[in-house]
Amino acid sequence: MKRSAIMHNASAGLLLYALLCVLPSAAAFTLSIFGNANMDGAIDENDITYLEGVINGTNPPTNLSDANYDGMVNKDDIAQTRQIINGEDKELTIIDSANRTVTVNKPVQKIVIGSSYYGEAFLYILGVDDKTIVGVEESTKTKNVLLPQLSAKESMGTRAAPDIEMILDLNPEIVFVYVNSPKAELLEDKLKGTGIKVIRMDLWRMATLRDEVEKLGYIFGKQENANKYLEFHDDVVEQIKEKIAEIPGDERPKVYLDARVAEGTSDRRTRNAPDGVHQLCENAGGDNVASALSASNPTVSAEWVLTQNPDVILGCDFGMEGGYGADNLTQLKDHYDAMISMPGSEGISAVKNNRVHIFSNDIAFGPDYFISLAYMAKMLHPAAFADLNPGKIHQDFMDQFYSYINFSVSEHGAFIYPPLNES
């Protein structure tokens, strides 16, 4: 079967992929790797059976049927799928989170990463050898507590301005960067003809993180480790989703998401779609009062906040206040004090009812994002989540996956303020 027949179904397949990846649910999930012929969440014997049906004409080809990505669906694709299942594949073709098709050679031995989230995912979730990472984004080198293994790695420059000369000197097989940063003309265009592949993933968006971790497991031959993480992830996320689904819309509190003072003014910065904290708020059962604003993460006046009269205020700075590298709550408390001392804030329901909470960016994004989802659910719906213990979830996660740094969340770090009364 030729490429034209495959592509006849491509748009439908991609639409299905987009729809299924709206939430990181184990039930609603399509693994976007060529060889996943039946478009489910794994590459297994069911794909072999489906491919046999495609070849025999009893199943329609899907966008992912062409396992070896050669433009035809035939027995060679069954052989490639079998190699993927057995971990013997020498090439793997994926659709990354920027909807780009990328083929990589395996095993992968040298990579450059454009975010600390990749460091966490590769070292702690997947168990990739740190020697595989030959270069990191500049700010990742400062994560001495969370990622001490990467502090001495070469810098690939910043997220927005990659150092192409350094990347070429490092000669990685793959450069991993965010979907929207850096711009293609600053990276892919400059790497054309070098053989260096670019894969774009965020590893912080709820809607795509599950797919990304699964794909990375296949790229590095670490599916078992990826699945252990996803089991932990799903246990937390699914129990929150199930309870939130039972809460009527009119019982969801109005939430103002604060990102601190807009520089040089008394105005505030807030968060809305497609911001990650906005996604967390909605999935934790909150109604973001800034949802209807057209600008992304807009500046708003203090008066506007007062007129919205939110039931809950959740603060999460665009910068890196608190987190794993902090051993006191000063920065989080400063943010809290700024919110409760705004002129007129005494009239806001959230302030009157002691429902102002500040949390660190460190747990809002990255592989541990669901820690803040758990905290947020408990902050927004304390009765429904009376038995939920986010602090214990956090520590269990650190013990199981980040044991290299032997981190106690009760003794170190600064993650939320004020502390919650956890069961």
Rounded CA-CA distance 104/116 in Å is 22
Q: Is the Cα dihedral 271, 120, 329, 142 positive or negative?
A: negative
Among 71, 67, 69, 90, CA closest to 79: 67
Distance of CA 114 to the CA centre of its chain: 14
The phi, psi pair for 72, rounded to 5°, reads -140, 150
Domains annotated for the chain, with CATH where assigned, are 3-89 (1.10.1330.10), 111-221 (3.40.50.1980), 229-417 (3.40.50.1980)
Closest CA to 13 of 50, 56, 49: 50
User: What is the number of other CB atoms lying within 10 angstroms of the CB of residue 14?
Assistant: 16
> Phi-psi region for residue 300, left (φ > 0), alpha (ψ -120 to 50) or beta?
beta
The residues facing 362 across adjacent strands are none
Q: Find out whether 326 and 359 touch, Cβ atoms under 8 Å.
A: no
CA atoms within 13 A on the CB side of 142: 8
Q: According to the model, what pLDDT value does residue 5 have?
A: 46
Q: Nearest Cα to 145, choosing from 114, 116, 177?
A: 116
Q: How far apart are CA 294 and CA 354, in angstroms?
A: 30
pLDDT in tens, the chain (423 residues): 554 444 434 443 444 334 333 344 555 579 999 999 999 999 999 999 999 999 999 999 999 999 999 999 999 999 999 999 999 999 999 999 999 999 999 999 999 999 999 999 999 999 999 999 999 999 999 999 999 999 999 999 999 999 999 999 999 999 999 999 999 999 999 999 999 999 999 999 888 999 999 999 999 999 999 999 999 999 999 999 999 999 999 999 999 999 976 566 778 889 998 889 999 999 999 999 999 998 888 999 999 999 999 999 999 987 768 999 998 999 999 999 999 998 899 999 999 999 999 999 999 999 999 999 999 999 999 999 999 999 999 999 999 999 999 999 999 999 999 999 775
- d(C-alpha 69, C-alpha 274), whole Å: 32
Nearest to 145 by CA among 416, 415, 413: 413
257 beta partners: 314
Q: Which residue has the tokens 């059976």?
A: 49
Burial of 296 (0-12, 13-18, 19+ CB in 10 A): exposed
Contact 111, 176 (CB under 8 A): yes
Encoded tokens for 419:
């502390």
**pLDDT score for 275:** 86
Q: Specify the long-range contacts of residues 43-47, CB closer than 8 Å, at least 24 apart.
A: 43/81, 43/84, 43/85, 43/218, 44/85, 45/85, 47/81
- Contacts made by residues 206-210, CB under 8 angstroms, sequence distance 24+: 206/23, 206/24, 206/276, 206/279, 206/280, 206/283, 206/369, 206/373, 207/21, 207/22, 207/23, 207/24, 207/279, 208/21, 208/24, 208/97, 209/24, 209/367, 209/369, 210/21, 210/24, 210/25, 210/26, 210/29
- Indicate if the alpha-carbon torsion angle 417, 246, 277, 133 is positive or negative: positive
Sign of CA dihedral 245, 249, 250, 256: positive
Strand spans (E) along 208-362: 254-261, 268-270, 287-288, 299-300, 312-315, 356-359
- Supply 253's token pair: 């509190």
